[in-house]
A and B are shown apart, each in its own frame.
Chain A
Amino acid sequence: MSVIDELQQAVKNSPRQSPGDEHPMSNFLRMDRIPHIWCPTCGIGTTVNCFAQALERCSIPLDDVAVVSGIGCTGRVAGYVKTDSFHTTHGRAIPFATGLRLGNPKLKVVVFSGDGDLFSIGGNHFNHAARRNLDMTVICVNNFNYAMTGGQVAPTSPTDSVLTTSPYGNFETPFNLPFLAESVGATFVARWTALHIHRVTESMIKALMKPGFSFIEIIAPCPTIFERKNKFGDGLDRLKFYHDNSEIIHGAPTKDVDIGLRNKIIVGEFVDIERPTFIESMNAYLKRRLGSDYDIYEG
């Protein structure tokens, strides 16, 4: 009997537990599209679970939520959540979300995308959305490389990381995303890893409920490229690494939270401030200038 025959035999003989009940998150996820395309032990699915849980706990009607993604592995999230969702062109998730939010200010707009899409191709848009304090939540799953296209160096790849386009190691200085987000004006900034599922969910709830531009970075394993090329093992080994090497410091100065390849990862909620949002500032300013000629914009 060949190995293949043996495998087929084993599959045939394997007793299956029939799933008797609905998955508790089936109101929030398009279960008909699952299994999804992400690799075994990839961390993105876990972050989607946290997001579904956060939506459930916020009890915002699902019709009032829109999820916008760009291109990349994380960009696929828009296809798996059962809300209005849109999979935009590369890097343009935030511009699309901006239009959505300004056109219908009653929507909760969530941008769910990867580090390459948000900070390289779409970096400019991130800066300006945060500067204007547009009312949206940006969730960035950071796996330190351009995973879907084969593992090129991204603006978040730590110095020394070995990737397809840095066979001798990366000599560039990566972005420190919380520092970037704070300096361009985000009102809520948090960072967690894919292992901190309850804390990620809590931060997502805070971010969804907070008016203004909120940003959450979630560090997640990419076993197929980043972990393999840098000899970190698979996703489970990486979760153990996060467990041993992440330190929670709420309110840590964001300039000190940069990530080295094998260093401690500082996680926590770093920034939580109040600033008038784009629509609030527009209404207040134009009301002051134009008086009764101006109608307050509410969508």
Chain B
Amino acid sequence: MAIRYHDNPFGKHKPGGPKGRVVIVEDGCKGCGFCVEYCPNDVLVLSSRYNVKGYHPPEVVHPDKCVNCGFCRMICPEFAIYTVAIEPETV
């Protein structure tokens, strides 16, 4: 009973954690791979495409797993990736 109450506090759907949308400025990327290596949720991979400078930019493979922690933005030496908070759905 208690557990079910915890899942649905006051009969409402429990809101999830923070979510983020990743924005990649592809042509600013120099393909270092820092964001891919250090994303805690493995949201990104290096793509096989080239950008205008001939580097492989990252690509989002698990958009739903992004928790908007901002680590990719902070570690990117090129200021070429950032995330925008997705507002939680209101219930």
Contacts and interface: CB of A to CB of B under 8 A. Distances in A.
B73 A11 contact: no
Interface residues of A, number: 40
A20 B23 contact: yes
Contacts of B52: 11
Contacts of B55: 40
Interface stretch (A43-51, A88-96, A211-219, A245-253): A43-51
Contact of A17 (B26, B37, B77, B84): B26
A235 interface: yes
A40 B80 CA distance: 12
B77 A45 contact: yes
Given A19-B25, A236-B33, A44 B50 contact: no
Contacts of B34: 41, 46, 235-236, 239
Interface in B45-88: 49-52, 54-55, 71, 73-79, 82, 84
Interface of A: 7, 10-11, 13-17, 19-21, 23-25, 29, 31, 34-36, 38-46, 49-50, 53, 195, 197-198, 201, 234-236, 239-240
Residue of A7, A35, A240 most packed against chain B (CB within 10 A): A35
B79 A236 contact: no
Contacts, number: 93
Contacts of B31: 40
Interface of B: 23-28, 30-34, 37-38, 49-52, 54-55, 71, 73-79, 82, 84
Contacts of B51: 11, 14, 16
A141 B27 CA distance: 26
Nearest to B54: A7
Given A7-B54, A11-B54, A17-B24, A49 B75 contact: yes
Nearest to B22: A17
A41 B77 contact: yes
Contacts of B25: 19, 23
B65 to A, nearest CB: 18
Given A23-B25, A46-B74, 19 more contacts: A7-B50, A11-B50, A16-B27, A16-B51, A17-B24, A19-B25, A20-B23, A21-B82, A25-B79, A34-B78, A36-B78, A40-B31, A40-B55, A49-B77, A49-B79, A197-B71, A198-B74, A236-B34, A239-B37
A37 B34 CA distance: 18
A236 B54 CA distance: 19
A168 B89 CA distance: 63
A24 B82 contact: yes
Given A17-B23, A24-B82, A236-B37, A49 B30 contact: no
Contact of B77 (A23, A44, A234): A44
A201 B24 CA distance: 23
A132 to B, nearest CB: 34
Contact of A24 (B32, B49, B73): B73
Residue of A7, A19, A239 most packed against chain B (CB within 10 A): A19
Contact of A23 (B30, B75, B82): B82
12 contacts: A14-B51, A16-B26, A20-B23, A21-B84, A34-B79, A36-B78, A41-B33, A41-B77, A46-B77, A195-B75, A239-B34, A239-B37
B81 to A, nearest CB: 9
Contact of A45 (B37, B50, B71, B76): B76
CB-based closest 4 A-B pairs: A45-B77, A40-B30, A41-B32, A14-B49
Contacts of B26: 14, 16-17
